[in-house]
Amino acid sequence: MTRPLTDEEYEFIGEPKEWGILPVRSMGATIRMTKDRRILIRNTAEVYNPFKMSQLDLHKRSIKHKIGLKKRFPQLPDDIIQSSWSGIVSRSRNSSQIFEKIDNNIFVAGCYNGSGIGVGTLFGEQIAIKASNGHSKEIETIELKNKPTRLPPQPLLNLGVKIRLIYERSKARSEI
């Protein structure tokens, strides 16, 4: 995420309102302009043990973020990025989400497959409605989806994911 843009930087890029774009390809960049004039970019994804990520690894991602921002906004200074972080995304083999009652008074929604805050918010709201014995058209739609399938065991999982990421990155090269 960038620091807040100065008045001059903000004016130079056209004084846009808050916005967000999603990539055409799954490994392309997601970019947002926030209300407080910051630009947020997500343009990296990989199989990585988050408990073994070093400061150097995080710095490498920050460089990729800067390259992605400079590609779109070359007029912004090199020191524009204020914060970089890494996170964990849960996945299922068929890209379906979990949405069900698993025991008395225990309901679960999750496994969003990197689909973002919109899906997480929708599922969270709808599982609360379901847990309250409510009903909605959204719940009907969600429950019609296939249940998530398990990922293959290690080491096949890491090998398969790494090959798939290489393939998806090559397709999304222009969107990074």
Q: Are 45 and 114 in contact (CB under 8 A)?
A: yes
**Which one is predicted more confidently, 54 or 101?**
101
Residue 98 has pLDDT above 90, yes or no: yes
Rounded mean pLDDT, 135-155:
93
Beta partners for residue 31, in sequence order: 21, 41
How far, in Å, CA of 119 to CA of 34, rounded?
19
Cβ(115)–Cβ(127) below 8 Å: no
Domain boundaries, the chain: 7-72, 98-144
pLDDT digits (tens, 9 = 90+) for 12-32: 999 999 999 887 776 778 899
Is residue 51 pLDDT above 80, yes or no?
Answer: no
pLDDT given for residue 50 in this prediction = 67
- CB 18 within 8 Å of CB 33: yes
The pLDDT assigned to 103 comes to: 95
Count other Cβ atoms within 10 Å, centred on residue 29. Answer: 21
Of residues 48 and 23, which shows the higher confidence score?
Answer: 23
**Which range, 24-28, 44-48, 124-128, has the best average confidence (pLDDT)?**
124-128
Predicted confidence band of residue 127 (pLDDT cuts 50, 70, 90) = very high
Q: What is the pTM of this model?
A: 0.68
Instruction: Report the pLDDT value the prediction gives residue 125, as an integer from 0 to 100.
Output: 96
